Copies of this chain bind each other. A is one copy, B any other.
Amino acid sequence: TRPAIPHGFYCALRANQRGGQSTRRAQERDTTAMAEGKLLLRSFVEVPRDSHFPIQNLPFGVFRRRGQPEGPPRPATAIGDFALDLAAVSAAGLFDGPLLSASPCFHQETLNMFLGLGRPAWKEARATLQKILSADEPVLRDNEALRKNCLVPMSDVEMLLPITVGDYTDFFCSVHHARNCGFIFRGPQTPVNPNWFHLPVGYHGRASSVIISGTDIIRPRGQGHPTGSSQPYFGPSQKLDFELEMAAIVGPGNELGKPIDIADAEDHIFGLVVMNDWSARDIQAWETIPLGPFLGKSFSTSVSPWIVTLDALKPFACEAPKQEPEPLPYLAEKNHINYDIPLEAWIKPKEQSDASIVTKTNFKHMYWTVTQQLAHHTVNGCNLRPGDMFATGTLSGPVWS
């Protein structure tokens, strides 16, 4: 038997909670938008004040109903304390727009088909959902049978991995993280490698072991780095670690040999999830020369169950860090933006009753944007497919605050 995670190591990615605060800020900004003639949307579904899921968010996921027997996997959005079953919404004919009314995309066990439809369909779905969930719209509000069929209390829901991940890529896009890595592995004067400021450095990760957040992690066994002239040891990792990242979920993608222009990159990114890039540092350190991370990472990668769309994140767009030297033309973008998403990681050791914060950062510090990552990824002709995932690398910030 293998030792348990030490001290019941438990990494609570509270980033979702912070996302919830961001979403409340979205509501505040929407107040401004109303003053400009736009509507302050409210749902007929009661949304608790600290909920991550007001009508302005509407993330996408896949769930099944708990119980005997368990229900089949179904696409959903979240509203307050409910999952809205999109297969049921679709079966009721409520997706009545031109792109979705005849589409079987919500009668699938994953979101991949929906992702493949592209941004016009995503916008149509969002508009439909905001309409049927709004306080002024009777179609669902006043139809109790339909409402009970479509709205499932979160307590009755088990969230599943929402996509089949074709390929998973991990980038290394925080300059603060790049500096920290140099410091940790090679000392305080170590400069960031020269290629780093010219391209988003990345590597292929393992797709099969991407799992939904909350799934137990089994401590990996492997060869650890020998100290001095000793032999490598073998056993359960003694340096299990986490990395707080976010990951972009790819939409339509491209054919092999046809790069996606940076100006079109955003249309291929459906949304973002929070990601924990579990890492066994002793395994990683020993195996990594010369081909990069492998078994030190491939044992598990956790992602949050709800994909928050770029459309929902629009109110949090902010300027991305200035890049010096100027990127090559294929990476130069007119709209060089990140999103203001506060992120935290907390750890609760087994014998401690409360969790302690160990990381506090923000997505907005990222040097290479997700659109630059995508344009770079395809510039050699590499094809992306709906449901592919690419992560940011550890999102370190400039200071601990």
B-binding residues in A (CB < 8 A): 166-167, 172, 181, 193, 195, 198-199, 201-209, 211, 218, 220-223, 231-232, 234, 256-257, 259, 280, 283, 286-296, 298-300, 325, 328-330, 376-377, 379-385, 388
Contact = CB atoms under 8 A, between A and B. Distances in A.
A287 B207 contact: no
- In order of increasing CB-CB distance, the 6 nearest A-B pairs are A292-B292, A220-B380, A218-B257, A204-B204, A203-B291, A298-B382
A375 to B, nearest CB: 12
B379 A221 contact: yes
B381 A218 contact: yes
Most buried by B among A222, A256, A288, A384: A256
A256 B210 CA distance: 10
Contacts of A256: 208-209, 211, 218, 299-300
Given A181-B290, A199-B287, 16 more contacts: A167-B206, A167-B207, A199-B223, A199-B232, A202-B291, A204-B206, A209-B381, A209-B383, A211-B256, A220-B381, A221-B381, A231-B325, A295-B376, A295-B377, A299-B380, A299-B382
B380 A222 contact: yes
A201 B284 CA distance: 11
30 contacts: A167-B206, A181-B290, A195-B223, A195-B232, A195-B287, A198-B286, A201-B287, A203-B203, A203-B204, A203-B291, A204-B204, A204-B205, A208-B384, A211-B256, A218-B257, A220-B381, A221-B381, A222-B380, A231-B325, A232-B328, A256-B299, A257-B299, A288-B290, A292-B293, A295-B376, A295-B377, A295-B379, A295-B380, A299-B380, A299-B382
A166 B280 contact: no
B292 A382 contact: no
A244 B202 CA distance: 25
Contacts of A298: 204, 380, 382
Nearest to A254: B208
Contact of A198 (B220, B232, B330): B232
Contacts of A385: 208
B220 A292 contact: no
Contacts of A257: 218, 299
Nearest to A285: B195
A192 to B, nearest CB: 10
Given A207-B207, A292-B292, A292-B293, A259 B380 contact: no
A312 B203 CA distance: 36
A74 to B, nearest CB: 23
Given A167-B206, A211-B256, A195 B289 contact: yes
Nearest to A325: B231
A207 B166 contact: yes
